[in-house]
Structure 1
Amino acid sequence: MVRSSFLVFLALLTAGCASQRLAGADLDRVARPAFISRIEIDAGPRSLVFQEDRAYKAKLQKLEPKEADRRLQAKLTAAVTRFEVSERLRVNTFRQLPEERPWVNTVEPARVATILESFLVEEVPANAPDYDLLTRLGADSVVEFVIQDYGMRSDDGRAGAYIKGYARMFKINGRAEIWRHPFQLDRVEEGTEHLDPFKVGKEPGLYRQQLTELLDVLAERFAKDLTPKDRKPGGALPEGAEQGESDSVNGAGREQPAPAKPDDTGLPPGELPDPDP
């Protein structure tokens, strides 16, 4: 248990060193961003409860810990899809951004999904997309959320949801990063209320609720990061102007009115989890 706690601490320390704050001057040079949210192929959801914590041995009786984790993992998978996890992070971050440049010129998510051939299907493609394709939509930068690991774990008889990954913003031409925010949220490490894995097995919605809370915490942090306080005046729309009146360059290089801030989801009805499930 001590070794596990040390590894978590080391990961947090390493992640903190790799972060990069978004400067207002860098954001001013962004004209048309595209948002991408994805989950790596082996990211989860994982159940790291029974095999890593012997506190449940007596309750499992003759059931092997590996099989118990397999069954719980199936419940976690059914509770919330990978698509819902990634989209909630993207949508809730975007909703909290101010109505100003460059966010009012963001590429519509449906067009991003189509050109990257994800087509808004339930399983988000795990491999990194071909970002250069986004230049056909006039995008000059990407805001990307990548989930590397998530699920449920336990330590000393206390279980909870966790999620790990990174968020970043970079210019497509040259891939120069202007913002990076590694993240690792862990309800067990935080010492929050125990999420009983046996109850989750019967009511998977309990896990869904806790994971949703973690995603919403991240979305709030990302939105704050993407609104730098040192930004000079000029990001906001001119007084009295309607969204869509500013100019931007489209993929063909012609000047056209910039689109208004796109729909929050760009998704078919019912695909996005409710903000308060």
Structure 2
Amino acid sequence: MFRKDSAYEAKLKKLEPVEADRRLTVKLQQAVTRFEISERLRVNTLTQLPQEQPWTRVVDPARVASVLESFLVEEVPANAPDYDLVGPLGADTIVEFVVQDYGMRSKGGRAGAYVRGYGRMFTLDGRAEVWRRPFEVDQVAAGAAHLDPFKVGKNPALFREAMTAMLDEVATVFVKDLTPRDRRGGAPLPDMPANAAPDTVPGAASQPPPEPPKPPEKELPAGELPDPDPE
């Protein structure tokens, strides 16, 4: 993020943008994991679906995760899970939510969270895909309020809150897709859209007082980002 937006150069001072990005990434991963994001999408979508077949015959997600060992997967796997292992549990169709990327980005000094991936439904017998919905929610592109990365560095829960709101948007779209207006499906749904000046000390107009020497810059603690600007 810092590498792609030079607006933070003065704030970072001696901290290299590459290292600042690394530290911010650690903070974001502490706030929410890829598995937690996928799980929220699953739970929020399932709880909003109508209580009728086929949604009343869903296989226990814990059994599915155990068979596929998906509790252990934080990165998008290079090889797809062996979904045939789910067949003995009584499943004939898979609904899969994949988070491909998430994090923060910035443009012109305005930062925000983003998440992208896709949902799909396919049959176990033949792997025929019957539904697919890519998603991308980007606060910067949407013109949302600035999410100060330095505040996130001090309070990673701010990123989690932003991610939660975006995932709820995605779940709402998934529910509409998976609840057709009739058994043949409804009409296609629209795609989801996806520096203050420093204070000055007044002085005599003709003879301003000399500036006091600047104190030496304090070293940042290991793994930390600069403090956010005061409100």
* Separation (CA, whole Å) in 2 of partners of 1:60 and 1:101: 55
Return 5+ residue gaps in structure 1 as ranges: 1-48, 233-277
TM-score when normalising by structure 1: 0.64
Which amino acid is the alignment partner of residue 73 of structure 1? T
Give the match for residue 224 of structure 2: none
Q: Does the 8 A contact of 1:51 with 1:66 survive in 2?
A: yes
Rg comparison, structure with higher value: 2
Q: Which residues of 2 match residues 127-206 of structure 1 at below 5 A? A: 127-206=79-158
Residues 11-55 of structure 1 deviation map (CA, whole Å, 9 limit, x = unaligned): xxxxxxxxxxxxxxxxxxxxxxxxxxxxxxxxxxxxxx2001011
Shift of 1:67: 0.5
Which amino acid is the alignment partner of residue 140 of structure 2? V
1:108 counterpart = 2:60: yes
Q: Which residues of 2 match residues 227-266 of structure 1 at below 5 A? A: 227-231=179-183
* Separation (CA, whole Å) in 2 of partners of 1:103 and 1:124: 28
Which amino acid is the alignment partner of residue 226 of structure 1? L
The sequence identity of aligned pairs, in percent, is 64
Structure 1 residue corresponding to 2:159, chosen from 187, 207, 211: 207
* Separation (CA, whole Å) in 1 of partners of 2:75 and 2:90: 23
* Separation (CA, whole Å) in 2 of partners of 1:128 and 1:187: 30
Cα 1:75/1:125, change in 2 over 3 Å: same
Q: Does the 8 A contact of 1:50 with 1:69 survive in 2?
A: yes
Q: Does the 8 A contact of 1:81 with 1:122 survive in 2?
A: no
| Paired residue secondary structure (1:85) | helix
Residues 188-208 of structure 1 deviation map (CA, whole Å, 9 limit, x = unaligned): 000000000011111111111
* Separation (CA, whole Å) in 2 of partners of 1:223 and 1:72: 33
Shift of 1:128: 2.0
TM-score when normalising by structure 2: 0.76
